[in-house]
Amino acid sequence: MADMRALDVETHSIPFFQRYGSAARMLHWSVACLVLITWPLGMMIGFAKKDVVSAFYLLHESFGFMVLWLMLLRVGNRWLTKPPQHSGSRPEKFAASVVHGGLYLALIIMPVSGFLATNAHGFPLKWFGLFEVWSPIGKTPDIAWTLSAIHTWSAWILLTLLALHLGAVLMHHVVRKDETLYRIL
């Protein structure tokens, strides 16, 4: 960190803090937007009136499915590029990796379980009504409700992780007034 500051003073070209790479930043915000749309849409399915419920399913499932592909890109990007160093204490770094790792895992389990569940119930995904997506399983009533239960439980785990994530960002930005938020902007 001290080295970065020295370089900044001398060259004015390297920022005082390190940011995530541009691909990581773009993927973070696209996935964040999709999740902030998909999660409430999923919750609304149960409350939607009969004549619009299939539209809620279609939008929820089509947006949610995009999360899977972006997350696969994200895992690849994370593998190839190192995230910037944290300046926090060891327990803080540990907490951040647990929450970030949990978010990665939940964001893969969610679309996979949802996709397999809808196929197992006998409703293959027609992406935004355009084309049917190939599935490794067809109608399988035996496992359909287990997959749905995994999807529902993961949805609440994801919400908890999200609350911890946003709480941590707020704490850094408002209480400590440090550079954390700017690392991902």
CB of 127 vs ligand HEM, minimal distance in Å: 9
Residue 35 binds ligand HEM (CB under 6 A): yes
Residue 152 binds ligand HEM (CB under 6 A): yes
DSSP E strands, 17-163:
126-127, 131-132
Which residues ranging from 123 to 142 are in contact with ligand HEM (CB under 6 A)? 125
DSSP track, 13-56: -S-SSPPPPHHHHHHHHHHHHHHHHHHHHHHHHTTS-HHHHHHH
* Long-range contacts from 8-17, C-beta under 8 angstroms, 24+ separation: 16/179, 17/84, 17/179, 17/182, 17/183
Name every residue whose Cβ is closer than 8 Å to that of residue 64 and which is 6 or more positions away in sequence. Answer: 34, 38, 42, 110, 111, 114, 115
Binder among 59, 70, 111, 120 for ligand HEM (CB under 6 A)? 111
Which residues ranging from 164 to 183 are in contact with ligand HEM (CB under 6 A)? 165-166, 169, 180-181, 183
Q: Which residues bind ligand HEM (CB under 6 A)?
A: 24, 28, 31-32, 35-36, 38-39, 42-43, 45-46, 60-61, 64-65, 67, 78, 83, 96, 100, 103-104, 107, 110-111, 114-115, 117-118, 125, 148, 151-152, 155, 158, 162, 165-166, 169, 180-181, 183-184
